[in-house]
A and B are shown apart, each in its own frame.
Chain A
Amino acid sequence: MAAVTEEIPLAKALNAGLRAALAADEKVLLMGEDIGKLGGVFRVTEGLQEEFGTRRVIDTPLAESGIVGTAIGLAMRGYRPVCEIQFDGFIFPAFDQITTQLAKLTSRTAGAVQMPVVIRVPYGGHIGAVEHHQESPEAYFAHTAGLRVVSPSTPNDGYWMIQEAIASNDPVLFFEPKSRYWPKGPVDFSRSAAELHSTRVVRTGTDVTIVGHGAMVATLLAAAQVAAEEGVSIEVLDLRSLSPVDYAPILASVEKTGRLVVCQEATGFASVGSEIAATVAERAFYSLESPVLRVSGFDTPYPPSKIESFYLPDADRVLEAVDRALAY
């Protein structure tokens, strides 16, 4: 099939992906706060209620546990609900339903009950937001068996991954990097670039491997560009899937470069980055020329937004870690 490519922002790509999923399967429902007439606070669901009706694009009462809990019941009835949690920091009222019910119903019923539920979560910082509107809580969910956790970094991945997540018969936590909602990028509407749970090499290099997900990927590419101008060749991997992690491309890259820096906006302690660092140390020990290094948000609450740029890893902090890795 010939490529049908258009330059659109991630928010519009997600909107197009949701539209395609709603059109393809009448069991797909969207549920969330302000997703109808308003189109969601980030306008990701703009126009969908008008097109598919209030029965399929549902403005729910303002209660996150209620949204996920009723989505579970709808899934038991054969529906495929896609829940929007308005902001990252507001997912916690639903934490019990997600971790004790949604994640466990398939194993509790020995496979008799499937939970094809997607939970969309705008996450991460860089947008000058107030408290609870800039967090990166993905590790809580990656820690829970029974859930799948993914995060697209580009409009193309947004368009395809949301449809693949909806098609999955397992629950998927779908983390959308909100600072990337607006920059445009090419979307090829003819075919998906990669399977949902695959990690991709987005820039090849030979000296150091850096891996990240979501909004971090743009920072990593910027860092790699600066490094190239200084004669350092960095290979950049977009994690895309946080649970399960697709280790083969990461290990292959580390075997080539001998050095790995794992980057994330989330706090570093007990994080997805910690897990990757530990696993690469276990599996690629003899390929490593330096310790695996991590660049993360600090192990603190997210700070006031006027100083968030000092909290969030930027290209300079990534390159500082690259320099340390190369110094071994």
Chain B
Amino acid sequence: MADVSPTVQFLSIDGTFAPNEAAEEYLPFLDGLSDEDHRQFYRDMAITRRFDEECTNLQRQGQMGLWPPSHGQEAAQVGSARASRPQDVIFPSYREHAVALVRGIDVVDIVKVMRGVSMGGWDPTDPANGNFRNYCLVIGSHALHATGYAMGVQFDGLVATGNVERDIAVMAYFGDGATSQGDVSEAFVFSASNQTPQVFFLQNNHWAISVPVTTQSRTPLYLRPRGFGIPTVQIDGNDVLASYATTRKHLDDARSGRGPALIEALTYRIGAHTTSDDPTRYQTPEQLAHWVARDPIIRFAAYLRGLGASDAFFDEVQQEADDVSADVRHRTLELGPPALSAIFENVYSEPHPVMAEQQAWLDAYEASLKEGA
């Protein structure tokens, strides 16, 4: 089994800093992380966890059509997102709430999508939104957009100039289910062929709704892209330091012109696929307990306590998370439906006779109903 790499891990389950052999080459990428950086990782994870719980509650109370929880995947998301540079461009799937938060998205914009008041939620071209593209619900299709975007970055000459403030890497997030999609394989083909500056960040949360990862692949997922000529690494996805260090290295490599890489983060979806799902139908209590014991936030809290973080710090973060969730709740309840003109506006960028005609008809029809009332 010489070709099977062990899983990169820095933090053991109890939060002890104990890099394994596979982690050694990534150790330099933790250099320069300050205490404050570590605390920020925790803050990001704790706020996302609290926000995510609040959103599930809001959905249960009828305030959202659907919510896809991120519970359990916070370390994979926060570590990788914090490893990206501001100029990097992120193509998420639809569960990357922690990445969204780190990149500066107003998380209420995610709520807008799930509440049915907006299709995309945020403007990905607004610099305030951290080059975080829109969620994509057709599984795996955005992997090709990421690769095409990365080709454009190459054409623009923004790879391997040596300017770390300017060179751009592109990162696509997707899950274990998505690896079965043709578009993900085609993204590997185009990426390898063009040697695009990009990282494929695969969160293997072990479930595609109710179907286990063993149905998607008989080979460990991180081995598959190697057949496409893409270097890969498997990491403990519930170890935020492993996620940070490996992503930093591979994003740096991508920006430096060393081509694409894939990181498989082994993690677990503690909650349901979405609020419409019932995981008790397919997941055993033992499986759940196994992964709850590997909770990424508890593990990192233990690590921080070892570094000297006090109760006061954790209390302060909890308060901040509660404040964020209270704000989200408040602003969610204020979100009314969009104007009916949203049906027709922006279907096309340029004037279109059918849009104009049908909007005029709907306006006249609605007006006639009001006259009759």
- Interface of A toward B, CB cutoff 8 Å: 29, 55, 60-61, 63, 65-66, 68-79, 93, 96-97, 100-101, 104, 106-115, 145-146, 148, 168-170, 244
- Given known pairs A69-B187, A71-B148, A76-B133, the reply for A106 and B155 (CB within 8 Å) is no
Interface residues of B in 165-202 (CB under 8 A from A): 182-183, 186-187, 189-190, 193
In the complex, are the beta carbons of B186 and A77 less than 8 A apart? no
**B153 surroundings in chain A (CB, below 8 A):** 77
> Cβ of B143: which chain A residues have Cβ within 8 Å of it?
69
Q: What chain B residues lie within 8 Å of A61 (beta carbons)?
A: 186, 189-190, 193
The 3 closest A-B pairs by CB, nearest first: A73-B148, A69-B144, A77-B152
B277 at interface (Cβ–Cβ under 8 A)? no
Encoded as 1 (CB less than 8 Å from any A CB) or 0, chain B from 325 to 353 comes to: 00000000000000000100111111011
Given A69-B148, A79-B155, check contact A114 B349 (CB 8 Å). Answer: yes
Contact indicator A74/B148 (Cβ below 8 Å):
yes
Q: In whole angstroms, what is the CA distance A304 to B353 when docked? A: 40
Distance to closest chain A CB from B253 (angstroms): 20
Known contacts A109-B124, A112-B126; is-contact A70 B347 (Cβ 8 Å): no
Q: Which of A101, A110, A115 contacts B119 (CB under 8 A)?
A: A110
User: Which of chain B's residues 128-157 have a Cβ closer than 8 Å to chain A?
Assistant: 133-134, 136, 138, 141, 143-153, 155-156
Q: Are A73 and B145 in touch, CB under 8 angstroms?
A: yes
Chain A CB within 10 Å, residue with most, of B120, B156, B190, B348 = B348
Task: Please give, as numbers and ranges, the residues of chain A lying within 8 Å of B34 by CB-CB distance.
Answer: none
Partner of A109, one of B120, B147, B151, B187: B120
Given contacts A65-B186, A112-B124, contact A168 B350 (CB under 8 A): yes
Instruction: Report yes or no: B348 in contact with A76, Cβ–Cβ below 8 A.
Output: no
Chain A minimum-CB-distance residue to B343: A107
The complex places the Cα of A189 from the Cα of B232 at a distance, in Å, of 53
CA distance A74 to B120 in the complex (A): 19
Measured between alpha carbons, how far is A59 from B278 in the docked complex, in Å? Answer: 47
Residues of A within 8 A of B190 (CB): 60-61, 63, 66, 70
Query: Cβ of A106 and Cβ of B346 under 8 Å apart?
Result: yes
Can you report 20 A-B residue pairs in the complex whose CB atoms are below 8 A from each other? Answer: A29-B155, A61-B193, A66-B144, A66-B190, A70-B147, A70-B151, A73-B152, A74-B148, A74-B155, A77-B155, A77-B156, A93-B182, A97-B141, A106-B348, A108-B119, A109-B125, A109-B134, A111-B346, A168-B350, A244-B353
Q: CA of A77 to CA of B352 in the docked complex: distance in angstroms?
A: 25
Q: Which residues of B contact A115 (CB under 8 A)?
A: 349
A145–B347 contact, CB under 8 A?
Answer: yes
Contact A55 B120 (CB under 8 A): no
Nearest-neighbor residue (CB-CB) of B348 within chain A: A170
Contact of A110 among B120, B151, B155 (CB under 8 A): B120
Q: Flag if B125 contacts A112 (CB, 8 Å).
A: yes
Contacts of B146 in A (CB 8 A): 73
Cβ–Cβ < 8 Å partners of A75 in chain B: 148
B354 at the interface (CB under 8 A from A): yes
Q: Which of A63, A68, A93 contacts B189 (CB 8 A)?
A: A63
List the B residue with the shortest CB-CB distance to A60: B190
A112 to chain B, nearest CB (A): 4
Q: Is B123 an interface residue (CB 8 A)?
A: yes
Q: Is B353 within 8 A of A113, CB to CB? A: no
Instruction: State whether A244 touches B352 (Cβ < 8 A).
Output: yes
B182 → chain A closest CB, angstroms: 6
**How many angstroms from the CA of A169 to the CA of B349 in the assembled complex?**
6
User: B147 — which chain A residues lie within 8 A by C-beta?
Assistant: 69-70, 73
